[in-house]
Amino acid sequence: MTAPKVRMPWRLAIPNLNVTDCECPETREKAITMRPVRFVLYLLILAMGAVAHADQATTPHRLFHIERNKNANIVVYDAQVMPGGTLPDKDPVVVYWLKLADDGERKKLKGIEKKLAYGFKVKSREGDRLELKMAADVGRNVFVEAVADSFRAFITIDEQMAQLERIFIFASESGLLPKVEYIELFGTSVETGEDLYEKYLP
């Protein structure tokens, strides 16, 4: 079966281009010729904007991130990989805000945010293998180690070792300070590759 031809809505995509108002045949012909070109340029501009936004939302050495019910801003944890492919002695993992609810700007965490909510401590280290104790009560530690040519974060989810992808924190703000109601862990099973999920009550 031959696929039906699709007529592209040039005039809807580019509202300023109205060839029906052109009285001169030569002008009308030129306008019709330019419609596909202008439409392609229009698509390229949209694509460039989408790529720019995607670059803000991910990084080459992303370990995992924390999402919250408050807004779209996320807390990002990246491995700070040196040119030789190893982690530095100081600050092997960096954490920062990604303000997706605003303009996607990257910002440092405040000291109190690191201490009480989104920071971590390196509990132990063997070469480039780290054990992180999170400030947020996720009920278990996070491990960071090299996998192929990158670094990944691992955690126990539903009693299985998993590659950690993201953590979701649901908190209520009815009191003076936010109260964490529950935490959700999302990852991929190291053994089977299946998606894993666990809801944890701190």
| Same domain, yes or no: 120 and 31 | no
| Same domain, yes or no: 121 and 151 | yes
| Same domain, yes or no: 45 and 70 | no
Please state the domain count of the chain.
2
Phi, psi (degrees; rounded to nearest 5) at 156: -85, 125
Q: What angle do CA 50, 55, 60 make, to 5 degrees?
A: 150
Q: CA dist 45 to 34, 48, 51, 128, Å? A: 17, 5, 10, 41
Whether 39 is in a domain gets the answer yes
Indicate the Cα dihedral angle 145, 150, 156, 158, nearest 10°. Answer: -160
Contact in structure between 155 and 164 (CB atoms under 8 Å) = yes
| Same domain, yes or no: 101 and 44 | no
pLDDT of the residue at 5: 40
d(CA 146, CA 149): 7
| Same domain, yes or no: 26 and 106 | no
For residue 122, the surrounding DSSP H or E stretch is strand 120-126
The tokens for 123 are 């509990």
Number of residues that make up the chain: 202
pLDDT of the residue at 43: 41
Last residue of a domain, one of 21, 37, 56: 56
Which three-class secondary structure string do you get for 17-84?
CCHHHCCCHHHHHHHHHHHHHHHHHHHHHHHHHHHHHHHHHCCCCEEEEEEECCCCCEEEEEECCCCC
d(CA 84, CA 177): 43
Residue with tokens 């990852």: 187
| Same domain, yes or no: 107 and 24 | no
d(CA 184, CA 90): 30
| Same domain, yes or no: 77 and 44 | no
Which domain range does residue 181 map to? 59-200
Q: Which amino acid is at 99?
A: K
pTM flag (> 0.85): no
d(CA 169, CA 181): 8
Residues of the chain with pLDDT below 50 are 1-22, 27, 30-34, 37, 39-56
Last residue of a domain, one of 56, 73, 94: 56
Whether 5 is in a domain gets the answer no
CA of residue 10 relative to chain centroid, distance: 33
